[in-house]
Amino acid sequence: MGKLVALVLLGVGLSLVGEMFLAFRERVNASREVEPVEPENCHLIEELETGSEDMEILPNGLAFISSGLKYPGIKSFNPNSPGKILLMDLNEEDPTVLELGITGSKFDVSSFNPHGISTFTDEDNAMYLLVVNHPDAKSTVELFKFQEEEKSLLHLKTIRHKLLPNLNDIVAVGPEHFYGTNDHYFLDPYLQSWEMYLGLAWSYVVYYSPSEVRVVAEGFDFANGINISPDGKYVYIAELLAHKIHVYEKHANWTLTPLKSLDFNTLVDNISVDPETGDLWVGCHPNGMKIFFYDSENPPASEVLRIQNILTEEPKVTQVYAENGTVLQGSTVASVYKGKLLIGTVFHKALYCEL
């Protein structure tokens, strides 16, 4: 009798593990391959070889790029150098890449591990760059002021908070005000992100200001990219492993209420918003298995989607770029400026195309 019970329990246990494994394969879209789609005239950017995690293009054509992320379980081609922030002026015919110097006595450049970034420009045209940083596997937000003349970043402040334990991306709504996504849950390094493999959807979004910090949305299966509409009324959140983009209405008191979600057949990563048209440009992973379990022989593909009219009944989704990883591996972000498209990746190269 006891043996029978043990066998039944073993059977139930194994089938649960099997189901979880199948569910995981589905969540990472493990069976998807891509057919190539390419705009004309694309070329790789030479100086960007070790990742261009996140980027933001200002209305004046200056592009800020975070590069060199070290993230648990994700490949890095340059694991021993600190990360950096790069600048490109997309008004140039053939834009070059410049590394921004960092000044400010309290900032430790050697442990800089930049992740999501966001900019904020105030009424006096001062430009602030907010950067999610993971020094020694911790999570902080670094506030910098951009010194345009010197082409450098002046470090002003490090922001830490217990509601910001595993930040991924942020969108600034003021120099010290932002919404941020916590992509997974556990603080314990040994348990780190197991809830993600189990699909417990404990990832959440926080509103931060110096006077108030609170959770404004929760229950995500890996909340990733976050951005805001040009009129500031809607917040977009990419739920990576549920293959969804959520639209939230933002209220005057900074709370968010869900409005709608769109489903995709790809892992939606970072979201850029075209300031002129309001279109969303999304860097995607068609097959997440290849990102989480990197194999140079069978590299992760890249995919870029453009979403027009997201608030209407029938948003238009266009696949603008798709490639099997021979050219570009693991696209995470895509952003446009004056008919040009810049595509970044987690740890690989960056591509610049004419649309």
140 binds ligand NAG (CB under 6 A): no
Secondary element (H or E) of residue 330: none
Which of the ranges 96-104, 119-127, 137-145, 249-257 carries the binding residues for ligand NAG, by CB under 6 A? 249-257
Which of the ranges 2-10, 138-146, 198-206, 251-259 carries the binding residues for ligand NAG, by CB under 6 A? 251-259
> Which DSSP state fits 3?
H
Phi-psi map region of 26: left, alpha, beta (phi>0 left; psi -120 to 50 alpha): alpha
In the complex with ligand NAG, the residue whose CB is nearer, 2 or 231, is 231
71: burial class by Cβ within 10 Å (0-12, 13-18, 19+)? Answer: middle
Among the listed residues 182, 270, 287, 329, the single contact to ligand NAG using CB under 6 A: 270
54 binds ligand NAG (CB under 6 A): yes
* Site track 32-51 with ligand NAG (rule: CB under 6 A), x = hit: ----x---------------
Q: How far is the CB of 93 from ligand NAG (least distance, A)?
A: 28
Among the listed residues 142, 169, 221, 303, the single contact to ligand NAG using CB under 6 A: 169
Binding to ligand NAG (CB under 6 A): which residues in 107-126? 115-116
Instruction: Determine whether 348 is an active site residue.
Output: no
| For the chain, counts of helices (H) and of strands (E) | 3, 25
130 DSSP β-pair partners? 118, 143
Q: What is the DSSP string of 45-111?
A: -TT--S---EEEE-TTSEEEEEE---BTTB--S-TTS--EEEEEETTSSS--EEEPEEE-TT--GGG
Tell me which residue of 165, 247, 171, 159 sits closest to 203, measured CA to CA: 165
Binding to ligand NAG (CB under 6 A): which residues in 189-248? 224-225
Residue 113, annotated ligand binder? Answer: no
Residue 271, annotated ligand binder? Answer: no
Residue 117, annotated ligand binder? Answer: yes
Are the beta carbons of 185 and 65 closer than 8 angstroms?
A: no
Residue 313, annotated ligand binder? Answer: no
Binding to ligand NAG (CB under 6 A): which residues in 299-338? 324, 326, 332-333
Distance CA 168, CA 227 (A): 12
Binding site residues, ligand NAG, CB under 6 A: 36, 53-54, 115-116, 168-169, 224-225, 251, 253, 255, 269-270, 324, 326, 332-333, 346
Catalytic residues: 115
